[in-house]
């Protein structure tokens, strides 16, 4: 998994000399100048957003990876941001919503193939609440945006393994269902 990521480096980013062989560890080390690059995951944040009626907001992705699949609003965390700040910013930019309350839910690793490179990502998930109706989705990034009942979400409709694991976690651990009857 690491190798497919690391072997994109054909030249040292510091001294520019060719790389003799693909790295076999989760680190790039230049044999010429000793430059070292660690392949830590990128970090992203997304929110399960609920309105006062108990509906959840989902988006339909407009682009690959996972085009047309469902996802929760969010995006990559910028350097210097907290995960909470990032999820508020991304939701504002992506779906035009201000979040009232943001509580940490869980995190899961993810793989994000983009432009020929599979990025290793750690996704942070939050439970959020809003009283706003939601705006028009950002053009280009999002195909559709809708409120729906949590019961209507099917695991196979979700875009990434981290989303499926989070949805399972939310349903079984965070919000255990009362016994029938």
Which residues are at the interface with Zn ion (CB under 5 A)?
12, 14-15, 30, 32-33, 35
**Least Å from the CB of residue 93 to Zn ion:** 37
Q: Which is nearer to Zn ion, 16 or 109 (CB)?
A: 16
Q: Which is nearer to Zn ion, 13 or 113 (CB)?
A: 13
Q: Which is nearer to Zn ion, 8 or 175 (CB)?
A: 8
Cα Rg for the chain, rounded, in angstroms? Answer: 19
Q: Do 52 and 44 touch, CB atoms closer than 8 A?
A: no
Distance CA 108, CA 76 (A): 14
**Least Å from the CB of residue 119 to Zn ion:** 23
**Least Å from the CB of residue 30 to Zn ion:** 3
Alpha helix stretches (DSSP H) within 19-160: 83-95
**Least Å from the CB of residue 15 to Zn ion:** 3
Q: Which is nearer to Zn ion, 32 or 131 (CB)?
A: 32
Q: Which is nearer to Zn ion, 20 or 79 (CB)?
A: 20
Distance CA 103, CA 125 (A): 9
Burial of 90 (0-12, 13-18, 19+ CB in 10 A): buried
Residue 41 DSSP code: P
**Least Å from the CB of residue 34 to Zn ion:** 7
Q: Do 20 and 30 touch, CB atoms closer than 8 A?
A: no
């Amino acid at each position: 998994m690491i190798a497919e990521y690391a072997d994109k480096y054909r030249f040292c980013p510091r001294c520019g000399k060719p790389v003799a062989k693909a790295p076999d560890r989760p680190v790039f080390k230049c044999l010429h100048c000793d430059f070292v690059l660690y392949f830590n995951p990128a970090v992203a944040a997304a929110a399960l957003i609920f309105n006062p009626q108990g509906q959840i907001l989902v988006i339909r992705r407009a682009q690959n990876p996972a085009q047309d699949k469902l996802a929760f609003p969010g995006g990559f965390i910028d350097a210097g941001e907290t995960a909470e700040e990032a999820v508020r910013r991304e939701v504002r930019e992506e779906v035009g919503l201000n979040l009232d309350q943001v509580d940490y839910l869980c995190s899961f690793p993810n793989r994000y193939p983009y432009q020929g490179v599979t990025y290793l990502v750690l996704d942070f998930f939050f439970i959020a609440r809003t009283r706003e109706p939601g705006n028009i989705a950002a053009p280009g990034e999002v195909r559709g945006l809708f409120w729906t009942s949590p019961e209507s979400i099917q695991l196979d409709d979700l875009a990434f393994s981290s989303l499926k694991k989070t949805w399972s976690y939310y349903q079984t651990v965070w919000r255990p269902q009362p016994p029938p009857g």
